[in-house]
């Protein structure tokens, strides 16, 4: 079974590439982030033609998450219990579903903007809500994973240059501590094999030739519980999908399971 996570940075802009990738990659379940559409604008029909059911939590041109599956979608939960919200609004940043033998969450963690900004405090609070929401499944016997754009690089090795991020979000002790606390529920980081690259980055900014220069970050993560991790046969970043015209600034992270 092949599952993946991908921040597509607008499903409308990326739809042709998404459909082509689903056909060529043989992915059974895809956790998708930054749909950037209202739910009624989501391309359910095009995906259904390829055999995928879609569970979607999206409200407009910002945020938006989904789970696409060709092995069934059941027991869908939209949002987090205890979601702290931002400026009084609960944003569409999390959705969970049962897909065949798996339970998965697709998450788009708040960016945080800058240290000291209210959005940074919201990010830490959101992690607490996520931790509470997944704790039961994380310790369960069913394969379970929380996949998505975490907007945190777990270690210094997950950014191309630590000096370039000094004083910025995504690498602060508080963010990494929140990520570590999430893992303590019983989750493990499924790190993609680096292939020919020193580090399996998943995100490269559009600016300053970051992708050709491999100035990236590993912020798209797959965190699985023990039954999930034990079933992992392979994992990789599909770096080729970051290339070319009309690419997202994130690459898919793919995991093959024996379940």
Hey, which residues are catalytic here? Answer: 108, 149, 250
Is residue 249 a known part of a binding site?
yes
Find residue 235's DSSP bridge partners: 255
Is residue 111 a known part of a binding site?
no
For tokens 């499903």, the residue is 11
Is residue 158 a known part of a binding site?
no
Is residue 199 a known part of a binding site?
no
Radius of gyration of the CA atoms of the chain, in A: 17
Is residue 34 a known part of a binding site?
yes
Is residue 250 a known part of a binding site?
yes
Find residue 38's DSSP bridge partners: 59
In angstroms, the CA 175 to CA 95 distance is 21
Structure token digits, residue 148: 């998505």
* Helix axes 173-183 and 118-138, enclosed angle (nearest 10): 10
List the end-to-end C-alpha distance of the chain, in Å, as a whole number: 7
In angstroms, the CA 259 to CA 101 distance is 7
Q: Which of 23, 20, 26, 19 is nearest to 4 (CA)?
A: 26
In angstroms, the CA 83 to CA 197 distance is 37
Handedness of CA 46, 49, 50, 51 (dihedral sign): positive
Residues contributing to the annotated binding site for Mg(2+): 7, 34, 149, 151, 249-250
Residues contributing to the annotated binding site: 7, 34, 149, 151, 249-250
């Amino acid at each position: 079974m092949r599952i993946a996570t991908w921040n597509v940075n607008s499903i409308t802009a990326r739809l042709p590439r998404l459909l082509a990738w689903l056909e060529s990659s043989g992915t059974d379940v895809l956790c998708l982030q930054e749909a950037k559409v209202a739910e009624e604008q989501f391309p359910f029909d095009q995906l259904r033609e390829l055999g995928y059911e879609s569970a979607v939590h999206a409200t407009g041109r910002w945020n938006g998450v989904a789970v696409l599956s060709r092995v069934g979608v059941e027991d869908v939960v939209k949002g987090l219990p205890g979601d702290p919200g931002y400026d009084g609004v609960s944003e569409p940043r999390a959705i969970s579903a049962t897909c065949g033998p798996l339970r998965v969450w697709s998450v788009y963690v708040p960016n945080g903007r800058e240290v000291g900004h209210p959005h940074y405090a919201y990010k830490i609070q959101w992690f607490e809500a996520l931790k509470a929401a997944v704790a039961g499944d994380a310790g369960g016997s069913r394969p379970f994973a929380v996949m998505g754009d975490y907007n945190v690089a777990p270690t210094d090795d997950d950014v191309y240059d630590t000096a370039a991020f000094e004083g910025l979000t995504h690498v602060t002790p508080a963010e990494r501590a929140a990520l570590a606390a999430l893992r303590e529920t019983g989750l493990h980081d499924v790190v993609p094999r680096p292939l020919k690259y020193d580090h399996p980055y998943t995100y490269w900014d559009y600016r300053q030739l970051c992708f050709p220069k491999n100035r990236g970050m590993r912020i798209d993560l797959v965190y699985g519980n023990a039954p999930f991790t034990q079933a992992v046969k392979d994992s990789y970043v599909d770096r080729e999908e970051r290339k070319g015209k009309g690419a997202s600034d994130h690459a898919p992270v793919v995991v093959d399971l024996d379940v």
